[in-house]
Structure formats: C-alpha cells, structure tokens
Structure 1
Amino acid sequence: MARRRRIRRRRVGFAGAVVAVTAAAAFLYLDAPWHDEDAAAAGRETSRTASAPATPTPKASASPKASKSPKASKSPSASPEADESVDPASVPKSGPGTFTVARKGVSSGGGGSRYRVDVEDGIGVDPDSAAEDVAEILADPRGWGKGGTRTFTLVDDDSAGLVIKIGTAQTTDKLCGQYGLDTGGEVNCRGGKNVMVNLDRWQLGSPTFDGPATEYRALIINHEVGHWLGHGHETCPGPGKPAPAMMQQIKGLQGCKSNAWPYDRNGHYLGGPSVP
C-alpha cells in the first residue's frame, strides 16, 4: 500500500511538471515579439516597383526580429500626395550614420512612456523640430494617448524605452538589417525599442495615402508605436470606413479611406480585422 502511494505521488508530481512546462511554453510563444514577414518582400519588390493597449515591455529588444511599415507601390517622386514643398531630388539617400538627440522639450521627470528622438546628421531635418512633430502626434487625443489615458515623456538619455530614429534610406536599411529585415531603401521598421523612420517617407509621404506628408508622418509614428505597444496588423473593416492605423496602408486601402489615427475624436477605436 505504501509503495502504491509513492508511485501515485510520483505520477501526480510528473503530471504537474508537464502542465507547468506546457504553460511556460505557451506563455513564451504568446509573448514573442511582433514580426512582419513582408519586410523581406518589400526589399525584393523595390527593384521593379518604385515603391486599450497595455504598457509596453522590453521583451522585443531581445529579439533579432522587427516590424516594419510596408512597401510603396510606385515612386514617391511621382506621387501627387508627396509634400510639394520638398523636392524629392533634395532628399539624401545616404548619410554619416551618426545622430543628434533632440533636446528641446525634454523632461527630467514625469511618468508615462519615456521616449527619445534621434535624427541623422546632415539630412536637412532639425532634431528639435522633428521632436515637436512627434510630441504633437503622441499627445493628440486621436493617438495612442487617447485623451490622456497614456502619456509619453520626451527624454534625451538612455532612460528612454522607445527611441525614434529618423535617417536616410541607406542608414535605415543598415539599422533595420540588424534585426534581420530588408527594408529595400523604401520603408520603416521597428525592432526592440527602436523605431527607424525612412527619411523619404518622413519628407515625401506615400503614394497611396490621401493626404500631405505631414499627415502621413502621424501614420508612421502611430503605426510603428502601435507595434511597440504590441499591436499587430489589421485590415480594412469595410468600404468607405477609415483605414486602421495598424493597416499597411501603403500597400493599398482595399476600399477604406486614408487615416493616420488609431482613435476618432470621440475615443472610438478605428480598428479592423486582424491580419494572421
């Protein structure tokens, strides 16, 4: 009888261990960082086409994978949606690979999500002006802050859990390549705590976005920060409806209307079906 009890206890202990291992494996799988498989495809295509969220964790920073904004369907220089105040020929394709940190408006205290803005040197974009643009986007009630439910604090040091870098196509490709992504000189990416913004997209916008480049900047930030917050891609919820900020709008709107914001002015989430 005693021997049977010992065998029974061993079986129960083994079963408990299996359950524990299975649960741990499920957690690790669900907690995997977001990754866009379309990134490599975007790089291949550019040769024939011109192309209520939770507080983020540092989990993705340990991953060699990243998320990105999708490829363009034609040349931004031919797009009527490009910012007419910027000559596409004046946007440099390469830079020194060094960055200047935005200093204006930084805070040494405050709560919320701490972020930093870095701009590549010599590319014609003032770091402080770029940081002002990003701050306005993040503070907009239609953004991920949703009228104050989440706050973002600009810093200029390594306390930032989110780093937004604006750089030339060549530099963006190099930085995104460190996460195993081929951005093909055209698109943005997000890897770990880093969001890399392609200068062409920042200055010229997208040929499929019905709005100026300044509005498209809001989509860039909201889309990539959305990935940083743990959101995956979404698709059009129906003809004539606003395209979700997490939709890859540069690949086409599928009947939706261009939209740069995750929420409307009434605080309603502008989402759509998840993309597997």
Structure 2
Amino acid sequence: MSTHKAPPTRGRRRRGPAHAPARGRRLPLWGGMAALVVLSAASLAAVNWTSADPDTPVTDARPAPTEPAPEKARPDPSASEADPSPSTSPSEPDIPLTGPGTFTTAPGNGAEVGSGTPLRYRVEVEDGLDVSAADAAEQVERILADERGWTADGRSAFQRVSGGTADFVVRIATPGTVDDICGQYGLDTGGEVNCNVGDNVMVNLKRWLLATPVYADDVPSYRALIINHEVGHFLGHGHVTCPGEGRPAPAMMQQIKGMHGCVPNVWPYDEQGRYVTGPAVP
C-alpha cells in the first residue's frame, strides 16, 4: 500500500470462365500437355478456394478483380497488441511520470467531522494533471467522514481547509514527485506507492487512477484505502498483516503486496464499530 519508515483481411477470389477443347478435334501433344497444365492449375486453385483456413490470408497471383472488396485498415506497425503500454492502452489514462512539483489547493472549507478538536488538512493536486482538486477534495472529505473511518475511534476529528495553518496535507502527485518528496525522508516509493512523511500524505497518481489488480474494478474503494492507510500512519498507526484466512484485510495492511488470505476491505472499522486489525509487522 505504501512505503514507510525505516484484429487479417481475407482476399476474395473470382474464378474465371472454364475453357474446354472443341469436340471431334485431337490436340497436338504440346496442346494436350498445355491443357493438362491449365486444368491442373485450375484444380489447385479450386482446392485453395474451398479448403483454405478462413483465417489465413490467401495469396492470388492473378490480377485483382475489377471491384475488389474494401480492405480493413492496417494496424499501426509500431503498436504492440501483445504487450500494450499502460500509458497508451485505451482502457487506461495517460499518466505522466513526473510533474513540476507545484500544487493547486482545493478551494473552500469543509465541515468538522468526528469528536474532539479537528485536525485541519488541505487537499492539493500537482499542477498539470487531469485531476480536479475540488473533486479530489470532495472524495477525501467523504472518506474521512465515513462512520467506518478513523472518527470511529471516538477521539479523531477532521476538517478540510484551503488556507491558514494545516496539520497535514493530502497531495495527489505524479510518481516522480512522490518519489522526490518521500525520498527526502529516506523512503523509496519506487514510482509506484504512496507514503506519509512529516505532514505530507503523498498519493501516487498511478494508484489514485488505476488502483491495484484486487481493486481494479472498484477504484473509488481503493482511494478510500489510500487515504485511510496514510492518514492512519499520520495518526500513529503502524503496519499490520492479515489476521486470518477469509477475514477482512485491515486498512493498515500493505494490501498492494498481497492479501495473504484476507478479503478486500478498505476501512479501519467495521459496520459494528469494531477495529479491523491484525498482527503487527515488525
């Protein structure tokens, strides 16, 4: 979850009219041989037409028909269907590897949620990204206000702000920028994962947009896991592992590294208000 401290075109073939020698005439030897060659070639052509694999292109040495069937567009030879790049696949967004390192803050303030003095936080998005800071802030607010989130501990409270002092900042950034900021604290995020360092909750753009294989069909849920996991570190919670086969995975488990028998879960607490945890990771 995070790094922390320490489709071939078929050729259509048109068969020409059949020719036969006139009755009552004997062909010279060379004429008979020539006719035999023509008949043999026609027979071979007929075999090719009727028995060729329909998925295999047929090569025709004869002139093309007057009105050929339109061909399909040829694929771009530079594109690899066997191993498409994640950044060029039509099902995935184009994710820049790095950005300017400057950020836009989501405007406005949110409501206080939870009990006690709220921790104030900002939501920022790295400049140049196709991610709305306002939309991201709305999602973060909703996650932190969920009854299964950290406010269920009875002592944590949050409020999003856009100015003044803040206790922590949620930053959505390119993999390279995440690496740079986390690396300043000695953490290696490898262009792939998120981190919490100081007052920065660093969210890797890859994970925000693509999630992981387990959550690929439910990216919003994985976003909740990112926020709950990294804010959990800010609150002082360490990594734990799966508590048992078929049990819900704790939010503080590094689920990106494998589920270890647990089932997906993105919330620190269950619907009954019980903390979801497991054995601590040294």
TM range (shorter): 0.5 to 0.7
> In the aligned structure 2, how far is the partner of 1:168 from the partner of 1:189?
13
- Structure richer in helix, relative to its length: 1
> In the aligned structure 2, how far is the partner of 1:272 from the partner of 1:76?
37
Name segments (4+ residues, structure 1) moved above 6 Å: none
**Correspondence 1:94 to 2:63:** no
Question: Of the candidates 167, 170, 183, which is equivalent to residue 173 of structure 2?
Answer: 167
Deviations 1:63-110 (A, max 9, x none): xxxxxxxxxxxx9949xxxxx9x84341222212110011134469x9
The residue matched to 1:152 in structure 2 has which SS? Answer: strand
Contact residue 95 and residue 122 of structure 1 kept, 8 A: yes
Supply the AA of the counterpart residue of 2:265: N
Shift in Å, 1:122: 1.3
Supply the AA of the counterpart residue of 1:202: W
The residue matched to 1:146 in structure 2 has which SS? Answer: helix
Shift in Å, 1:139: 0.1
Question: Of the candidates 183, 206, 210, which is equivalent to residue 200 of structure 1?
Answer: 206
**Correspondence 1:151 to 2:151:** no
> In the aligned structure 2, how far is the partner of 1:152 from the partner of 1:194?
15
Q: Where in structure 2 are the equivalents of 1:261-276 lying within 5 Å? A: 261-276=267-282
> In the aligned structure 2, how far is the partner of 1:169 from the partner of 1:123?
12
Contact residue 111 and residue 153 of structure 1 kept, 8 A: no
Question: Of the candidates 213, 216, 228, which is equivalent to residue 219 of structure 2?
Answer: 213
Percent identical among aligned pairs is 55
Of 122-131 and 87-96, more deviation after overlay is shown by 87-96
Supply the AA of the counterpart residue of 2:105: V
The residue matched to 2:226 in structure 1 has which SS? Answer: helix
Q: Which residue of 2 aligns with 1:184?
A: 190
Q: Which residue of 1 aligns with 2:42?
A: none
> In the aligned structure 2, how far is the partner of 1:99 from the partner of 1:141?
30
Q: Aligned residue pairs: how many?
A: 199
CA RMSD of aligned residues (A): 2.6
Contact residue 76 and residue 205 of structure 1 kept, 8 A: no
Unaligned residue ranges in structure 1 (runs of 5+): 1-33, 38-74, 79-83
> In the aligned structure 2, how far is the partner of 1:174 from the partner of 1:196?
11
Residues 141 and 149 of structure 1, relative CA distance in 2, 3 Å threshold? farther
Supply the AA of the counterpart residue of 2:142: E
Q: Which residue of 1 aligns with 2:17?
A: none
> In the aligned structure 2, how far is the partner of 1:236 from the partner of 1:211?
22
Structure with greater Cα Rg: 2
Question: Of the candidates 88, 104, 108, which is equivalent to residue 104 of structure 1?
Answer: 108
TM-score scaled by structure 2? 0.65
Unaligned residue ranges in structure 2 (runs of 5+): 7-83
1 or 2 for the larger relative contact order (CA 8 Å, sep ≥6)?
1
Q: Which residue of 1 aligns with 2:5?
A: 36
Contact residue 235 and residue 275 of structure 1 kept, 8 A: yes
Contact residue 141 and residue 147 of structure 1 kept, 8 A: no
